[in-house]
Amino acid sequence: MAKSIQRFANPARFMALSGAVLPWAAAATALTLSIGLYLALIASPPDYQQGETVRMMYVHVPSAWLASAGYASMALACAVGLIWRHPLAFASAKAMAPLGAAFTFLALVTGALWGKPMWGAYWVWDARLTSVLVLFFIYLGYIALWEVIEDFGRAARATSVFCLAGAVNLPVIRFSVDWWNTLHQPASVARLDGPAIHSSILTPLLVMALGFTLLFVVLTLVRTRTEIMERRAASLEMQQAQAGMIVGAHNG
């Protein structure tokens, strides 16, 4: 296991492999998303209670899924990076953070827009909404920490420690917010505890979730490749500057 990770963690091998996979993955994403959008927006029936607003779900639920799955994969990459000291794992964690934050933001916004017709208010302090909001703040903290520490190696390891601390604390936050919410639950909020989801809604939902996940993977690959190329460019520039200095010293 460790050995196979080592093999893929070679940046040159990663660049070659991801470059070959990327066009196909992007095509699969586009295909899945267009099928999913057709099923979700046109082919699926409106809900008998919620009407057309139920279609919000096909964007909201996949975003919320990626908000947490994105953080989980980020934490995994951070742990791999800390244990095996692989810059590639750190680079992929860094690449995933803004994507996860964006999907978390999408989940919050679509949740608020969906909440208006369903709950009568854009924002209610629902337990799920609240813990997703805290998750969003943790994403922001992770990104901000990357921004302020200049040295790549130091920033990579410091952000990873924070990411793992967040991963340990997130279940506790989730639990405390659930508990807090039952304590303060306003009576006016109607819950959406409907019957089990019918397959006419479940199929487009699953296709959309698959499409969103593929999109996340493709964008992560692209951003990781960019990160590697940027680092390579920076080190080339550094070499050039050093060579220039040596030449300059010889001439002067």
Q: Is there a contact between 118 and 57 (Cβ–Cβ < 8 Å)?
A: no
Task: Select the residue interacting with other proteins from 15, 162, 185, 189 (CB under 8 A).
Answer: 162
Packed helices 57-84 and 199-251: angle between N→C axes, nearest 10 degrees: 40
Shortest distance, CB of residue 148 to other proteins, whole angstroms?
Answer: 5
Instruction: Report the alpha-carbon angle 56-58-62, nearest 5.
Output: 120
Please identify which residue in the block is written with the tokens 């921004």.
147
Task: Note whether 213 binds other proteins by CB under 8 A.
Answer: no
CB nearer to other proteins: give 163 or 209.
163
Task: Note whether 84 binds other proteins by CB under 8 A.
Answer: no
- Specify whether the backbone of 126 is left (phi greater than 0), alpha (psi in -120 to 50) or beta: beta
CB nearer to other proteins: give 55 or 174.
174
Task: Select the residue interacting with other proteins from 15, 30, 76, 134 (CB under 8 A).
Answer: 134
- Specify whether the backbone of 226 is left (phi greater than 0), alpha (psi in -120 to 50) or beta: alpha
Q: Is there a contact between 64 and 107 (Cβ–Cβ < 8 Å)?
A: yes
- Of 1-9, 131-139, 192-200, 216-224, the segment contacting other proteins by CB under 8 A is 131-139
In angstroms, rounded to a whole number, what is the distance separating the alpha carbons of residues 71 and 88? 17
Task: Note whether 231 binds other proteins by CB under 8 A.
Answer: no
- Of 12-20, 108-116, 168-176, 226-234, the segment contacting other proteins by CB under 8 A is 168-176
In angstroms, rounded to a whole number, what is the distance separating the alpha carbons of residues 49 and 46? 9
Beta strands in 169-209 (DSSP E): none
Task: Select the residue interacting with other proteins from 5, 140, 210, 222 (CB under 8 A).
Answer: 140
Shortest distance, CB of residue 232 to other proteins, whole angstroms?
Answer: 24
Task: Select the residue interacting with other proteins from 25, 26, 112, 173 (CB under 8 A).
Answer: 173
Please identify which residue in the block is written with the tokens 């200049």.
150
Q: Which of 102, 106, 97, 100 is nearest to 142 (CA)?
A: 97
The amino acid at 116 = K
Shortest distance, CB of residue 109 to other proteins, whole angstroms?
Answer: 19
Task: Note whether 157 binds other proteins by CB under 8 A.
Answer: yes
Q: Within 27-56, which residues bind other proteins (CB under 8 A)?
A: none
Task: Note whether 149 binds other proteins by CB under 8 A.
Answer: yes
Which positions lie near other proteins, rule CB under 8 A?
A: 134, 137-138, 140-142, 144-145, 148-149, 154, 157-158, 161-162, 164-166, 168-169, 172-173, 175-177, 179-180, 183
